[in-house]
Chains A and B, each alone.
Chain A
Amino acid sequence: IAGITQAPTSQILAAGRRMTLRCTQDMRHNAMYWYRQDLGLGLRLIHYSNTAGTTGKGEVPDGYSVSRANTDDFPLTLASAVPSQTSVYFCASSDSPGQPNEKLFFGSGTQLSVL
């Protein structure tokens, strides 16, 4: 059972470089999310997608972009990385977007360091 797969597991990136974090799910969930986790701040929503072909901005979308060409994949792109984007990034999915009892399933995360 794979669930949600994120790649790479970790990455060190020079400032100004472009980077795409990959996220794939095999649960056929409609909704997918990208969060960043920072010490003392918990998880903050970057972007989300309620269904293939649609995306939306979360709490901290600046400097990030996403696409949702199909149900399974939801890549997150940093067009020009900056040190403040050093964080742990989590991809999540759910099968009931917008429902009060929506439960999220998370990947194992990508540790990104921007130098």
Chain B
Amino acid sequence: DIQMTQSPSSLSASVGDRVTITCRASRSISNYLNWYLQRPGEAPKLLIFAASALQSGVPSRFSGSGSGTEFSLTISSLQPEDFATYYCQQSYGTTVTFGQGTKVEV
């Protein structure tokens, strides 16, 4: 199985900050990497697919980059609704794995 490791596990930030979250795969997954945001009590929401493609309707302050084993999600200017937990997920091959999550809090 491909293991996904996110860092940090949590971070403190303020409105307007630039925030970057990293996701590392245990082996190369090309660009089969997706990012999600999950607010408390809600289902996850797809933000970025194929490492860097913005899902329809997602604000442009979210961006993704990387390929192979190293990926990142950047929020250019944190908004109040962005305080949430973020997950990466690989879809290389037939099985699926998620990172452990990164909680972005005040």
Q: Tell whether A and B belong to one assembly.
A: no
**Interface on B for A, CB 8 Å cutoff?**
none
**Interface on A for B, CB 8 Å cutoff?**
none
